[in-house]
């Protein structure tokens, strides 16, 4: 019997009101059911929002350092449960154990950062233009935060949102991706075990259209933090506009690694392999394009194909496996369709391009790591997010051309440049349109205490991570204390004319 999971609303584990459920399967072996989960609807969202609204009245008054103490406990519990969480995550969404351990570690880092922020949450004191008057600006909680997350970082991304939201004094209604509800449930269990009071954290499982949109459109939800596709992000933005709620959107990417002729090619090779095929290419920051200088093109392509051929596909729980499956059949179909599109457009496959024939992989949603050459910057495989193990290689002749091609997409999340020339490196840092630029490192590798997010259609200007996310989850209140005993009129009484 598959394990039965529930929603957590107002401090209680409950089924969907309708009683309906959905299954989640292991993408490396689709015969294995990870669990059954409540297929919730509007009435479940309403209950959760009601609980969160009520709990907000108490939680907002808990001193931030006390909220920080709970976050420290959360981090401690995640350390204790790290291996178990990583294994559950690999079973649920397929990426290899080393990476799911990293995903949990990012959550741990985020918890400890949030814990320490409980003793900061700094505001400003600023001199007044008038005598005997005190000016300050301080952070205050906002209210009920809706959190909607994708499946590719099933622990890290929810923690990036939920921990700062709670630390700032907001309450949360959380809808995780339908592909990773078990990991999300474990996170909620940890929050509860660490002492988060009832109603402060609520999880409602179910589909994006029903539960996700139910949260976004709810008049009593004050802010929404969403990570996912650009397509869904746009819909969320439209619906949220009707209640003018605050929305943070972290969306798609089409990230490129540029390799100049003077680069350390071995370093660049390690970078592109990790960037393109880590998490089976299913990262918002995955290296989806390689912009390769013509002078080193042939040499680097040979090195690349040799190494890709050695990558081992398989169940991420097994030792020695480098690349896991696609998360589900839909994602595998998308990859297959982009391989066809690339071929039709005139690109050529330098490696891979098919579903593996190995019978040991026959019951999972695997796809070979795939490399396209002869890709032109206008090709769809050079412009659109594929979200799978597909790398499009484009030949370039100069730094200027490399940057121009890199910027020629609607997205702007991550970017990478390999060069030993300091002038080229700084020119690239200045001119690349992306929220993140790495020099001599791959497009993936964000650290939890640094701002994370993208420009153009990758987002709407907010940043997760580090100190910046605390701006999203708190409101500034400006306070003037006039102790002069008289009416003092700003801009008027302190100037003669
Ligand atoms: P997705 O299809 O957009 O789904 C993301 C979340 O939104 C899921 O919880 C999904 O629920 C929910 N959802 C779907 N339709 C919705 C709707 N109409 N209204 C409200 N919520 C809805 O994305 P995904 O396939 O899970 O993740 C892959 C995408 O995320 C890629 O585009 C990737 O680049 C992006 N991503 C971006 C970042 C970043 O920080 N920039 C990080 C990671 C991933 P269901 O699961 O139930 O459909
Ligand atoms: Mg699954």
- 206, 228, 330, 365, best to mutate for ligand 1 pocket (most atoms within 8 Å of CB): 228
- Classified as helix, coil or strand, 41 is coil
Are both 263 and 244 inside the same structural domain? no
What is the C-alpha R_g of the chain? 24
Are both 244 and 347 inside the same structural domain? no
- Any ligand 1 atom below 6 A from CB of 235: yes
Are both 220 and 323 inside the same structural domain? no
- Any ligand 1 atom below 6 A from CB of 413: yes
- 23, 95, 150, best to mutate for ligand 1 pocket (most atoms within 8 Å of CB): 150
CA–CA dist 393, 292 (Å, integer): 7
Those residues of the chain that have pLDDT short of 50 are: none
- In this structure, are residues 335 and 323 in contact, taking their beta carbons and an 8 Å threshold? no
- 158, 207, 208, best to mutate for ligand 1 pocket (most atoms within 8 Å of CB): 208
In a domain, 122, yes or no: yes
- Interacting residues of 405 by C-beta distance below 8 A, sequence separation 6+: 256, 289, 291, 377, 382, 394, 396
Q: What spacing in Å lies between the alpha carbon of 445 and ligand 2's midpoint?
A: 24
Are both 246 and 120 inside the same structural domain? yes
Are both 225 and 322 inside the same structural domain? no
Atom 19 of ligand 1, nearest CA residue: 213
In a domain, 374, yes or no: yes
Phi, psi of 61 (to 5 degrees): -95, -10
Are both 213 and 327 inside the same structural domain? no
- Any ligand 1 atom below 6 A from CB of 212: yes
Q: What spacing in Å lies between the alpha carbon of 35 and ligand 2's midpoint?
A: 9
In a domain, 491, yes or no: no
Ligand in closest contact with the CA of 328: 2
Ligand in closest contact with the CA of 446: 1
- Domain of 150, CATH number, reads 3.40.605.10
Are both 245 and 262 inside the same structural domain? no
Alpha helices in 176-296 (DSSP H): 181-193, 213-217, 230-241, 265-277
Identify the pLDDT of residue 493. Answer: 87
- In this structure, are residues 148 and 450 in contact, taking their beta carbons and an 8 Å threshold? no
**Atom number, ligand 1, closest to the C-alpha of residue 150:** 26
Ligand in closest contact with the CA of 93: 2
In a domain, 94, yes or no: yes
CA–CA dist 128, 136 (Å, integer): 9
Phi, psi of 223 (to 5 degrees): -150, 155
**Atom number, ligand 1, closest to the C-alpha of residue 206:** 47
Identify the pLDDT of residue 359. Answer: 96
Are both 298 and 403 inside the same structural domain? yes
- Any ligand 1 atom below 6 A from CB of 229: yes
The partner residues of 459 in beta bridges, in order of sequence, read 250
Identify the pLDDT of residue 87. Answer: 98
Q: Which residue has the tokens 């300050």?
A: 136
In a domain, 42, yes or no: yes
Pairing verdict, β 287-293 and 255-259: parallel
CA–CA dist 73, 103 (Å, integer): 18
Are both 228 and 264 inside the same structural domain? no
CA–CA dist 441, 432 (Å, integer): 15
Phi, psi of 69 (to 5 degrees): -60, -40
**Angle between helices 156-167 and 64-80 in degrees, nearest 10:** 160
Counted domains in the chain: 2
CA 168 to mean position of chain CA atoms:
20
Atom 43 of ligand 1, nearest CA residue: 284
CA–CA dist 164, 446 (Å, integer): 17
Catalytic residues: 250, 284
Q: Among 388, 411, 439, identify where a domain stops.
A: 439
Identify the pLDDT of residue 289. Answer: 98
- Any ligand 1 atom below 6 A from CB of 288: no
Are both 200 and 261 inside the same structural domain? no
CA 373 to mean position of chain CA atoms:
29
pTM: 0.98
Identify the pLDDT of residue 1. Answer: 74
Domain, as residue range, for 285: 255-439
Q: Which residue has the tokens 């309403």?
A: 46
Are both 260 and 219 inside the same structural domain? no
Determine how many CB atoms are found less than 10 A away from the CB of residue 459: 26
Closest CA to 315 of 351, 368, 366, 352: 366
Angle at CA of residue 165, ends 147 and 52, nearest 5°: 70
- Interacting residues of 29 by C-beta distance below 8 A, sequence separation 6+: 315, 363, 364
> What Å distances lie between residue 464 and 161, 184, 208, 243, 469, CA to CA?
8, 19, 22, 23, 5
Are both 289 and 410 inside the same structural domain? yes
> What Å distances lie between residue 320 and 50, 260, 286, 325, CA to CA?
48, 32, 21, 15
In a domain, 450, yes or no: no
> What Å distances lie between residue 226 and 62, 329, 342, 468, CA to CA?
26, 23, 30, 16
- Any ligand 1 atom below 6 A from CB of 207: yes
- Domain of 352, CATH number, reads 3.40.309.10
**What sign does the dihedral 274-280-286-287 (CA atoms) show?**
positive
Q: What spacing in Å lies between the alpha carbon of 280 and ligand 2's midpoint?
A: 15
- Any ligand 1 atom below 6 A from CB of 377: no
Closest CA to 186 of 99, 95, 74, 25: 74
In a domain, 497, yes or no: no
Identify the pLDDT of residue 199. Answer: 98
In a domain, 492, yes or no: no
């Amino acid at each position: 019997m598959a394990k039965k999971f529930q929603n957590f609303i107002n401090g209680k584990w409950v089924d969907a009101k309708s009683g309906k459920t959905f299954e989640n399967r292991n993408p490396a072996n689709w015969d294995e059911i990870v669990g059954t989960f409540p297929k919730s609807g509007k009435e479940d969202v309403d209950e959760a929002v009601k609980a969160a609204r009520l709990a907000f009245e108490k939680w907002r008054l808990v001193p931030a350092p006390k909220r920080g103490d709970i976050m420290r406990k959360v981090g401690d519990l995640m350390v204790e449960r790290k291996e178990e969480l990583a294994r559950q995550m690999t079973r649920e969404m397929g990426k290899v154990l080393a990476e799911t351990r990293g995903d949990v570690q990012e959550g741990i880092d985020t918890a400890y950062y949030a814990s320490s922020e409980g003793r900061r949450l700094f505001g400003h004191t600023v001199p007044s233009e008038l005598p005997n008057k005190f000016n300050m600006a301080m952070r205050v909680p906002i209210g009920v935060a809706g959190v909607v997350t994708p499946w590719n970082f099933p622990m890290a991304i929810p923690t990036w949102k939920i921990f700062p939201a709670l630390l700032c004094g907001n309450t949360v209604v959380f809808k995780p991706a339908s592909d990773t509800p078990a990991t999300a449930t474990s996170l909620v269990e940890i929050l509860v075990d660490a002492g988060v009071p009832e109603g402060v954290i609520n999880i409602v499982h179910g589909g994006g259209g029903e539960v996700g949109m139910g949260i976004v459109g709810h008049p009593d939800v004050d802010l929404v933090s969403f990570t996912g596709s650009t397509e869904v992000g746009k819909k969320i933005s439209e619906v949220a506009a009707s209640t003018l709620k605050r929305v943070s959107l972290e969306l798609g990417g089409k990230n490129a690694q540029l390799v100049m002729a003077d680069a350390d090619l071995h370093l660049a090779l390690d970078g592109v392999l990790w960037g393109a095929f880590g998490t089976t290419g299913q990262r918002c920051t995955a290296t989806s394009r390689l912009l390769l200088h013509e002078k080193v093109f042939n040499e680097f392509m040979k090195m690349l194909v040799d190494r890709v051929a050695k990558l081992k596909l398989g169940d991420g729980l097994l030792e020695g496996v480098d690349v896991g499956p696609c998360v589900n059949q839909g994602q595998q179909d998308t990859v297959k369709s982009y391989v066809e599109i690339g071929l039709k457009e005139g690109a050529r496959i330098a490696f891979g391009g098919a579903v593996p024939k190995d019978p040991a992989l026959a019951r999972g949603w695997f796809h070979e790591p795939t490399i396209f050459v002869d890709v032109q910057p206008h090709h769809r495989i050079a412009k659109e997010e594929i979200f799978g193990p597909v790398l499009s290689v484009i030949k370039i002749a100069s730094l200027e051309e490399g940057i121009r091609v890199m910027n020629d997409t609607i997205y702007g999340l991550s970017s990478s440049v390999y060069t030993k020339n300091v002038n080229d490196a700084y020119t690239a840092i200045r001119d690349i349109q992306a929220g993140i630029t790495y020099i001599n490192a791959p497009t993936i590798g964000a650290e939890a205490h640094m701002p994370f997010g993208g420009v153009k259609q990758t987002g709407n200007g907010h940043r997760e991570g580090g100190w910046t996310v605390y701006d999203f989850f708190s409101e500034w209140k400006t306070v003037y204390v006039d102790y002069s005993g008289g009416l003092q009129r700003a801009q008027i009484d302190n100037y003669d004319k």
